[in-house]
Amino acid sequence: MRFLFKTRYEQDLGLFRDGVQRNWHAALLAVLVVLPLLLPDYITDFSLVLIYGLCGLSLMALAGFTGLVSLGHAAFLGIGAYAHVYFSQKLGVPWLLSVALAGVVAAAAGVLVGLPALRMTGVYLTIATLAFALIIQEVFNRWETVTGGLSGEAVTEPVIFGVPLHGDATILGVTLSLGDLALYFLCLVFLIAALWLTRNLLRSPTGRAWVAIRDSEIAAQSMGVNLAVYKTMAFAYSAALMGIAGALFAHKVGFLAPDIFSVLLSIQFLLMVVVGGLGSLHGALLGATFVALLPVVIAEARDGLPDWLGQVFALFGSKTGAAVSAAVDRFVKQPGLEPGVFGLILVLFILFEPQGLYGRWLKIKLYFSEFPLYKRESFKRQKAFMKSDRLR
Amino acid sequence: MTFFAAEALAIHFGGIRAVDGVSFAVEAGEVFTIIGPNGAGKTTIFNLVSRIYEPTEGRLVFCDEDITRVPPHQIARRGIARTFQNIELFEHASVLQNLLLGRHAHKRSGFFSELMFLPRVKRLELEHREAVEKVIDFLDLQPYRDTLIVNLPYGVRKVVELGRALCTEPKLLLLDEPSSGLNVEETGDMAFWIEDIRDLLGITVLMVEHDMSLVSAVSNRVLALNYGRPIATGTPREVQEHPDVIRAYLGG
């Protein structure tokens, strides 16, 4: 067990708890920087992890920290993506500025949703955001001059400071598409920036006000928090992050069509924050990694699993092996396997680990640091029967 | 000057007159207690003062200013802080964060400077922290700084809530049943703190309380309510011996 000896108030204001935590994060960053060289085949998947990381942060700020659950975040992603493509490809706005503008446009949309949402709480708010997402998807369908409508819109590779990024590059004997590589690092930079900004908000009065609104609106109000202002702020900030993620997402998918930004995507984002663990930045990133890489794992399983299991069961006779292989092959090639697995995972997490992956990680850490005195009760939460719902 | 006054305050929920023409004035530097049987309208008065409810009739005056129409989040900035009967802390935040939120009424940094965590924000945060540390020392909360509220025993939560209200540096402190759920020793501590809040910090206290030993120990004046109407005002002793008060509690 390690004890942290605090001698100055500044120690509670740092980005990291202590030097150890900072070094672990630095090590993680180093791994992320060399990752494209280690696993060049999966670079676009890793870009998606980073983009989903931004989305996770966005929804975490809103749902995990302010307690406003949104089922319409794919719409903000779409707004960001279309806005970025429109600004950069049709109006010729410089790339970085266009990404920033995408964030601004999405934030404006966030304020627009946030304002009527102020009068709603809980599940009603969720339904309102769902309705918003459906409306926006219809707008993507119909506003053909900007979005290209149902026929979609091709996205060109990013052009940074006038340097077009296409062709291949060979680094240390590994050949990579320059566009993919640039996108990966752009995503990484944007994700780190977003993490820094979100962490800054959370350690200053605004973040505290969000947490206060999440835990008790009435007490927050009595302490001087203007609910309307801070809820709108949370919506705008969350939407801005989503808009920037959308701009990067546009380059990742390469072709925008309205049906990408469906409710299913919004549900995936919600899955991300729940699986990761509501109320923690680590959780947002763990959840994003999980949700972005699960389809990759499923795809790999599709190709490899039947043969592999066939070989294992071939030990019981070649006929059994072939039969098992064929059965597994039929099962994994079922359409709709992916949403099914996602749904199953969500249910299992809510049942067995409501605190998400990050909560599980904290438990494992505490188990070893307290060994052999770990108590399961340390993380059990008392049910709050005392809270008055009357004054909501 | 009027420090705090409720003038003919009334709120009706449909046909129920929860508070029905209550007038009282609190003078600066006193502990003013509202007592009454269950459902007399004591907490409703608190919710009216902190502007969570809209009064049907009447006026609220604080420091010569009419606050009857001030929005609820502005009340803390005027210098009125409150605690809740059933504890409304931010449960998944640490004690420190809860107390720091009490400083929200004194927030002077803007969104964008916080986004960048500019040196100014850091300096202000340190100032808030120092104010919070004074309250921590005052209420002996040192061992709990980094503990989440959900992991605290009830008695400590009650003290943290008092601390959060003190962090706003109020002129008037509303305590809704500060001793409910506390054991005898904790109630004794609470009585000391209420006296110290009045005498050392110079904060006026308006309190709703059932525990008559606590009421008698700390209150300067007591108002007794029944069915939303005032029935007696005076020193704790006078009110306790008032025939209407005895009838309200014991019937007859």
A200 to B114: CB separation less than 8 angstroms, yes or no? yes
Q: How confident is the model at residue A250 (pLDDT cuts 50, 70, 90)?
A: very high
Give residue A153's pLDDT.
85
Is a pLDDT exceeding 70 seen at residue A384?
no
- Chain B residues with CB-CB distance to A201 below 8 A: 114-115
d(CA B173, CA B162): 9
Q: How confident is the model at residue A386 (pLDDT cuts 50, 70, 90)?
A: very low
Q: Which residues pair with A171 in a beta bridge?
A: A174
d(CA B121, CA B107): 10
**Higher pLDDT among residues B108 and A172, named by residue:** B108
Is a pLDDT exceeding 60 seen at residue A357?
yes
- Chain B residues with CB-CB distance to A10 below 8 A: 122, 126
Is a pLDDT exceeding 80 seen at residue A154?
yes
Is a pLDDT exceeding 50 seen at residue A92?
yes
Mean pLDDT of A139-143: 92
- Using CB atoms and an 8 Å cut-off, which of residues 5-64 of chain B contact chain A? 47, 50, 52
- Using CB atoms and an 8 Å cut-off, which of residues 116-135 of chain B contact chain A? 116-117, 121-122, 125-126, 129-130, 133
In sequence order, what are the residues at sequence separation of 6 or more whose Cβ sits closer than 8 angstroms to the Cβ of residue A189? none
Is a pLDDT exceeding 90 seen at residue A103?
yes
Domain with residue A192: its CATH number is 1.10.3470
- Using a CB–CB cutoff of 8 Å, tell me whether B85 touches chain A: yes
Is a pLDDT exceeding 80 seen at residue A218?
yes
**Among B108, B114, B150, B160, the residue to mutate for chain A (most A Cβ within 10 A):** B114
Q: Report the 3 state secondary structure along chain A.
A: CCCCCCCCHHHHCCCCCCHHHHHHHHHHHHHHHHHHHHCHHHHHHHHHHHHHHHHHHHHHHHHHHCCCCCCCHHHHHHHHHHHHHHHHHHCCCCHHHHHHHHHHHHHHHHHHHHHHHCCCCHHHHHHHHHHHHHHHHHHHHHCHHHHCHHHCEECCCCEECCEECCCEEEECCEEEEHHHHHHHHHHHHHHHHHHHHHHHHHCCHHHHHHHHHHHCHHHHHHCCCCHHHHHHHHHHHHHHHHHHHHHHHHHHHCEECHHHCCHHHHHHHHHHHHHHCCCCHHHHHHHHHHHHHHHHHHHHHHHHHHHHHHHHHHHHCHHHHHHHHHHHHHHHCCCCHHHHHHHHHHHHHHHHCCCHHHHHHHHHHHHHHHCCCCCHHHHCCCCCCCCCCCCC
Residues B12-62 pLDDT 10s: 998 889 999 999 999 999 999 999 998 889 999 999 999 999 999 999 999
- Is B224:B232 a contact under the CB 8 Å cutoff? yes
Report the residue of chain B nearest A230, measured CA to CA: B111
> What are the mean pLDDT values of chain B's consecutive 10-residue runs (252 residues total)?
92 91 94 92 92 93 94 93 92 94 93 93 96 96 92 93 96 94 93 95 94 93 93 93 90 71
What ipTM is given for this predicted complex? 0.93
- Chain A residues with CB-CB distance to B121 below 8 A: 204
In sequence order, what are the residues at sequence separation of 6 or more whose Cβ sits closer than 8 angstroms to the Cβ of residue B33? B206, B207, B208, B209, B215, B218, B219, B221, B222, B223, B236
Range of the domain at A90: 37-377
Report the residue of chain B nearest A201, measured CA to CA: B115
B92 to A211: CB separation less than 8 angstroms, yes or no? yes
- Chain B residues with CB-CB distance to A233 below 8 A: 111
User: How many CB atoms lie under 10 A from the CB of residue A267?
Assistant: 18
- A227-253 vs A178-202: helix crossing angle, rounded to 10: 170
Q: For B101, which of A13, A208, A279 is closest by C-beta distance?
A: A208
Residues A5-45 pLDDT 10s: 888 898 889 888 888 889 999 999 999 999 988 888 899 99
Give residue B252's pLDDT.
63
* A382, part of any domain: no
- Using a CB–CB cutoff of 8 Å, tell me whether B74 touches chain A: yes
d(CA A230, CA A223): 13
B101 to A13: CB separation less than 8 angstroms, yes or no? no
- Using CB atoms and an 8 Å cut-off, which of residues 193-232 of chain B contact chain A? none
**Higher pLDDT among residues A132 and A314, named by residue:** A132
Is a pLDDT exceeding 60 seen at residue A388?
no
**Among B47, B90, B168, the residue to mutate for chain A (most A Cβ within 10 A):** B90
d(CA A51, CA B246): 69
- Using CB atoms and an 8 Å cut-off, which of residues 124-183 of chain B contact chain A? 125-126, 129-130, 133, 150, 164, 168
Classify each residue of A297-316 as buried b or exposed e, where b means 16 or more C-beta atoms within 10 Å of its C-beta: eeeeebeebbeebbeebeee
d(CA B101, CA A211): 9
Give residue A329's pLDDT.
82
Report the residue of chain A nearest B88, measured CA to CA: A219
Give residue A60's pLDDT.
95
Measure in Å the smallest separation between the Cα of B240 and chain A Cα atoms.
Answer: 30
B89 to A219: CB separation less than 8 angstroms, yes or no? yes
Give residue A203's pLDDT.
93
- Using a CB–CB cutoff of 8 Å, tell me whether B77 touches chain A: yes
**Among A8, A12, A199, A222, the residue to mutate for chain B (most B Cβ within 10 A):** A222
**Among A195, A204, A229, A381, the residue to mutate for chain B (most B Cβ within 10 A):** A204
- Chain A residues with CB-CB distance to B116 below 8 A: 197, 200
* A86, part of any domain: yes
Is a pLDDT exceeding 80 seen at residue A377?
no
- Chain B residues with CB-CB distance to A278 below 8 A: none
> Residues of A at the B interface (Cβ-Cβ below 8 Å)?
9-10, 12-13, 197, 200-201, 203-209, 211-212, 214-216, 218-227, 233, 279, 381-382, 384, 386-388, 391
B93 to A212: CB separation less than 8 angstroms, yes or no? yes
Give residue B10's pLDDT.
94
Domain with residue B77: its CATH number is 3.40.50.300
**Higher pLDDT among residues A174 and A56, named by residue:** A56
Into how many domains does chain B fold?
A: 1
* A388, part of any domain: no
* A174, part of any domain: yes
Into how many domains does chain A fold?
A: 1
Mean pLDDT of A216-243: 94
- Chain B residues with CB-CB distance to A283 below 8 A: none
Least confident range from A122-131, A331-340, B122-131: namely A331-340
Give residue A1's pLDDT.
61
Q: For B92, which of A204, A220, A279 is closest by C-beta distance?
A: A279
Give residue A381's pLDDT.
66
Average pLDDT across chain A, whole number: 88
Q: How confident is the model at residue A390 (pLDDT cuts 50, 70, 90)?
A: very low
Measure in Å the smallest separation between the Cα of A344 and chain B Cα atoms.
Answer: 28
Give residue B147's pLDDT.
92
* A387, part of any domain: no
Is a pLDDT exceeding 60 seen at residue A254?
yes
- Chain B residues with CB-CB distance to A212 below 8 A: 90, 93, 101, 104
- Give the whole-number percent of chain A exceeding pLDDT 70: 95
Range of the domain at B223: 4-250
**Higher pLDDT among residues A332 and A201, named by residue:** A201
Report the residue of chain B nearest A208, measured CA to CA: B101
Measure in Å the smallest separation between the Cα of A193 and chain B Cα atoms.
Answer: 10
B77 to A216: CB separation less than 8 angstroms, yes or no? no
Give residue A339's pLDDT.
78
